[in-house]
Amino acid sequence: MPRNVAPVCDIDWARYFSLPVAVPPSGITAAERVQYAGALDVTATTPISTHGRYFKDPPAAEVRGVGAASRVLLPRHGRDLVPASRETLSAATMNERMTLLGTTAFQPAAPAPGSVSAVDAKLQDKVPTDPRALSFSPMPIPRLGVDSVEMYFETKPVPWLPATLAINQLGILDINGMPSAAVPELLLTTSKTSLGELDRLLLRSPVSGRFRFDPYYLYRWSGATTLEVIGPSSTGRLLIEQPPLSTARSVEGTHTLLFEARTFAFDHVSRADVSEFVHALLAFQLRHLEALNAAHKNEAGAEARLAIPGSSPEVMGWVVAGVSRMLRAWTAFLSVAVLRWRIEDITAAEAIPATWTATLKKGEPKASDAAALILIATQVIGSANLLESLMFFSRNVYARRLAGYSWTEVLALNGQNAARFPVPSDQPPFTANDAVAKAAKEQHQRLRLIEDPNQRWVACWAGAPLGRPAPVYASAAPGTAFPVDGVTTYELEALHAGDLAAAVFGVAAPAPASKPTAGRAGDLSAYTGKQVGHACWFTAGTIATNPLHTTTDWLLELTRGTHFTNVEEPFVDLMSLVDKADPRFRGHPLVAPLRADQHEKAVHLRRQMDAAGMEVLGIASLGWWDSKVGFTKVGTKWHHLNADGTDNDKDPSPRKPYNDDQTHPAALSGVLSFDDLIFGSPTGFDTFDIESAWLATERMRVSPDRALPLPVVLALMEREGVKQFAAINRRVRYTRTEGATLLWEALRRADIAPVARLRATYPGPDVQMAREAWLSYPYGLDHYATPNTDDGVDGRTVLPADAVIGMSEGLSGAVKAGVIALDPDESVGRYISSRVFGTFVPSPAPIGPRGTPRIWKLHRRMHWAGISLMVAYFREIEAGILGNTSAFVNGAWTRNASWVAPPPDLTGKTPADTEWKDYLSYYGMVYIGYNGGPSTWADTIKTAETAMVGSPLQYRDFLLFKHRRDRVVIGNMVRFVIGLDAFLRLRYLDNEAPQNFAAASADTTAAATRTVAKWGV
């Protein structure tokens, strides 16, 4: 399977994956692709993110109610332009408005007698749905889920077309609207005069599979517990289903979850645009059904672009089913007397063989039915009358009905306001029971199968255009981001239905007839002047094998590859749609939510480490530090004493701060003991570690916006042992079955009595025990491991006003220090405890019942959350030091202000400059508080200030090079500083263009060039 390919939208059924938006055709140059992406002006965000935030999936049944007398419902996510109340719908309330299909088959029975509006009201009263739809929302209304990508397309007055555009491709439909006999390169005609596939609004299938459109409905409360359906929306949800690709995954030998069966969704899509693409796609599949079948069977001479892979037999079956259902609906349509308003259709009906009825059966067609269906398709294509009739039906009736238009709306759009369908039971053919009437009833029922969501699927290739986002309305001037006072089309329709929209937007009250009603969407033409852009939400649905694998994970694996045991190439090259000369990474909208800039920088930071020869430079640098810090040596080890006076002698380190990024432990099955990792060969940071560090430091900040510099975070990770635990940070699996994953003993072997603990000393739930054990190692976060609950970790059990910075458990001190502000829907504790699991294993007698937890990680991205807490505590300690808060004060002593002189700017500086030393000494001073706590920091600083009287050194220099050479905390500080010295040498590529990244290199200035004049030692 091709890897790291530039995304294109050309017709290619052999393609597995694509991007959901902003995919150009292959017929433009590489430079034009970048120009296309840069001119898109599409903003993408993840409002409920797990990638740099700690959100969980919001309550599915939560909505907003607006209005007084008759409250209308709005989606949970949105901008409150009128007072709104959060409400949770009960299962009973929602079930009253839904008919769940699956165990219950769709029943297209004739509706009870009544007017057109009465029949429409009855049809919409209980909307047919299925589990796929319910997995995104329990009601047919928009829903923004966890990690859903919100995309906003600002209105652009002039369509983008480069002056050098050479593309001139005809699509599937010719100027007469008939399908082309030749297999086109593109579905849509694209040239200098026809935007076609270059339309920036196009929403595309991310996978090869099938799609359908589920319309939204508008609701209001009727009484306290009953929802009343107002009418349909002009928007809805596109669902795209990918079949399981187990054969392809086996061939690829990959651990990626991209090959799992999955359903995707675009929310807030315009139904009018979906209709256009349904018609074009079905026209293509009808015209080239025989060629598709031949290519799927790998017949000689078959068109390679039509070759649906053998690993995707379902897709070929979906092609057959889609064409068969269209033909079945068309023949039924021609058999219903009230619908034959055209002479051409009457003529076509007379030419249809009676045998087609049996071939176009009610059941689900399969790939094996292709041969019989090809015969019918060939006859239709060969008859101008039949083909014209079918194309008219597809474009004007079938595609609209599949795009969510009601029968009443379809007839009205065709100028047939006097006609009605479905026909009620008190009108022919339902008033008779003879053979003719029975045959007619069957055709009515066959046509009404269109209402079954399981009958509305249409096959598609990866990259096929499926629709466009629906409009956004706002009072303020348009901009590049979703307006703060903006509403979606659905929200405007609901406000309009509740007589609230006109006042919000300052327009004259529209006529009552413009409001939505049973079977008819509302008329929003009164608000046309307030339209400022378009918006939609893209979501990758959950999968049973790993419900934690979200949209973000899917997109990351698609554009970066999976790094489980080996580094794998991505499937799609996102950077091919980025302007590499622009430091802002201008280009494809997914660059921002996926933080592609940080990924690219991380790749080149790792490359710099590999190129720097750090084994030599690291050893030489460590030798210089060893000669300057003045520690007593016991053999090769630095001699230090623990608090109880016992020896703590260890080798100088880090010796190789730029270790290679390979995961060294070879045995990774069964139980991995604590000692296997803690005393094994360390692994260097890989791009995943560096990206996780970036996420962590961005989430924690000291007001207003200063983030902990990335080299400081890397030095912290180096010192706290993160490198030792690469195996269990990278090789994870979602399972709660011990035998199916790697287990790690969270403490040293439990036959060591002082280490073994009773189960009762851990929190009650196993997930909380696992969370405590995981935060203790490898992150060294006792501060956050100790609380027994998620709320305790979040700092919500201690009010910030009562918190002591540097002392209070959990995040309460960090919140008080201004390091973090949690959204009410965020929870760090829950984020971590839901991504780790464990069991307690008692030791054999006589140690038992004491024992050790065995823990494992369920999700890789828990790694950034663990690092973020390291950053949070470091920032909290720093804030406490700078603020001279109570925990950092030792008696009546008043510290010298030079202790907290800010770290200097290192722009243009080298490792030999004074500023470099002052930077190291500042963060080393803070690290003492991180490593030993506030009281240790205060005691160390106070005694250093006393001891240095008469010394020519600066305060922090004395601490770093002279003070208390026998203390463990000083040794730890020096090791941290040596690591920071190494990581500061990297070029972090801030405000640099991506095209320059490959030339960047680490500063290899030798430590031996540091002079007394500049460093004082």
| pLDDT bracket for residue 740 (50, 70, 90) | low
Across 369-394, average pLDDT: 96
pLDDT in tens, 246-287: 777 777 777 789 999 999 999 999 999 999 999 999 999 999
| The residue type at 171 | G
Strands (DSSP E) contained in 377-430 are none
**542-546, 739-743, 923-927: segment of lowest average pLDDT:** 739-743
**66-75, 610-619, 623-632, 805-814: segment of lowest average pLDDT:** 610-619
Burial class (CB in 10 A: 0-12, 13-18, 19+), 660: middle
pLDDT of the residue at 668: 55
| pLDDT bracket for residue 118 (50, 70, 90) | very high
Q: How many CB atoms lie within 10 A of CB 319?
A: 31
Residue 46: closest CA among 476, 489, 554, 485: 554
Indicate whether 390 pLDDT > 70: yes
Are 657 and 618 spatial neighbours (Cβ–Cβ below 8 Å)? Answer: yes
| The residue type at 652 | P
CA distance 910 to 1004: 9
pLDDT in tens, 997-1014: 999 999 999 999 999 999
| pLDDT bracket for residue 563 (50, 70, 90) | low
Across 213-233, average pLDDT: 93
pLDDT of the residue at 189: 95
Are 207 and 460 spatial neighbours (Cβ–Cβ below 8 Å)? Answer: no
pLDDT of the residue at 402: 98
Strands 127-129 and 98-100: parallel
Are 659 and 723 spatial neighbours (Cβ–Cβ below 8 Å)? Answer: yes
Are 39 and 47 spatial neighbours (Cβ–Cβ below 8 Å)? Answer: no
Across 27-36, average pLDDT: 88
Q: Rounded to 5 degrees, what are φ and ψ at 180?
A: -75, 140
H helix or E strand, kind and range, residue 70 = none
CA distance 289 to 376: 11
CA distance 756 to 747: 8
Tell me how many degrees the CA angle 260-265-268 measures, rounded to the nearest 5.
Answer: 175
Query: Residue 304 has what DSSP assignment?
Result: G
ω into 654 cis (within 30 of 0) = yes
Indicate whether 975 pLDDT > 70: yes
**CA count, 13 A, side-chain hemisphere, 697:** 18
pLDDT of the residue at 667: 52
Residue 497: closest CA among 471, 518, 522, 475: 522
Whole-number average pLDDT of the chain: 91
- Virtual torsion, Cα 743, 746, 747, 750, nearest 10 deg: -50
pLDDT of the residue at 924: 98
pLDDT of the residue at 741: 66
SS3 725: helix
CA distance 547 to 662: 28
pLDDT in tens, 288-314: 999 999 999 999 999 999 999 888 899
pLDDT of the residue at 774: 86
pLDDT of the residue at 492: 97
Across 53-78, average pLDDT: 92
Residue length of the chain: 1017
**89-103, 174-188, 940-954: segment of lowest average pLDDT:** 89-103
Indicate whether 484 pLDDT > 70: yes
CA distance 198 to 873: 49
- Virtual torsion, Cα 419, 424, 427, 430, nearest 10 deg: 130
Report the percent of the chain where pLDDT is more than 70: 96
**CA count, 13 A, side-chain hemisphere, 754:** 0
Q: Rounded to 5 degrees, what are φ and ψ at 352?
A: -85, 125
Give the contacts of 103 (CB within 8 A, at least 6 positions apart). none
Residue 955: closest CA among 890, 895, 898: 898
**136-150, 194-208, 583-597, 836-850: segment of lowest average pLDDT:** 836-850
Across 470-474, average pLDDT: 97
Across 65-75, average pLDDT: 89
Across 691-717, average pLDDT: 88
| pLDDT bracket for residue 676 (50, 70, 90) | confident
87-93's contacts with Cβ under 8 Å and 24+ in sequence apart are: 87/62, 87/63, 88/59, 88/61, 88/62, 88/63, 89/61, 89/62, 89/63, 89/138, 89/139, 89/227, 90/61, 90/225, 91/61, 91/138, 92/225, 93/225, 93/226, 93/227
| pLDDT bracket for residue 702 (50, 70, 90) | low
Residue 242: closest CA among 226, 257, 223: 257
| pLDDT bracket for residue 375 (50, 70, 90) | very high
Indicate whether 749 pLDDT > 70: no
Tell me how many degrees the CA angle 545-550-551 measures, rounded to the nearest 5.
Answer: 130
| pLDDT bracket for residue 670 (50, 70, 90) | low
- 701 or 172: whose pLDDT is higher? 172
CA distance 460 to 400: 18
**CA count, 13 A, side-chain hemisphere, 757:** 15
pLDDT in tens, 525-539: 999 999 999 999 999
CA distance 405 to 412: 10
CA distance 129 to 217: 13
| pLDDT bracket for residue 238 (50, 70, 90) | very high
Indicate whether 666 pLDDT > 60: no
pLDDT of the residue at 965: 95
Indicate whether 872 pLDDT > 80: yes
Q: Rounded to 5 degrees, what are φ and ψ at 945?
A: -65, -35
Across 762-780, average pLDDT: 87
pLDDT in tens, 880-895: 999 999 999 988 889 9
Residue 809: closest CA among 821, 826, 792: 792
Report the percent of the chain where pLDDT is more than 90: 75
| pLDDT bracket for residue 330 (50, 70, 90) | very high
- Scored b (16 or more CB within 10 A) or e, 100-126 reads ebeeeebebebbeeeebeebbbebbee
pLDDT of the residue at 733: 79
- 959 or 726: whose pLDDT is higher? 959
Bridge partners, residue 264, by sequence: 240, 540
Tell me how many degrees the CA angle 570-575-578 measures, rounded to the nearest 5.
Answer: 160
H helix or E strand, kind and range, residue 418 = none
CA distance 699 to 865: 9
Q: Tokens standing for 11?
A: 């017709």
| pLDDT bracket for residue 564 (50, 70, 90) | low
**401-415, 541-555, 556-570, 643-657: segment of lowest average pLDDT:** 556-570
Tell me how many degrees the CA angle 701-707-709 measures, rounded to the nearest 5.
Answer: 145
- Virtual torsion, Cα 829, 832, 835, 839, nearest 10 deg: -80
Indicate whether 791 pLDDT > 70: yes
Indicate whether 751 pLDDT > 60: no
Give the contacts of 737 (CB within 8 A, at least 6 positions apart). none
- Virtual torsion, Cα 250, 255, 261, 263, nearest 10 deg: -150
- 368 or 334: whose pLDDT is higher? 334
Render 509-578 in DSSP notation, one character per residue: PPPGGGS-BTTB----GGGGGGEEEEEEEEEEPPBTTBTT--HHHHHHHHHH--BSSSB---SB-GGGGB
pLDDT of the residue at 618: 85
pLDDT in tens, 423-437: 999 999 999 999 999
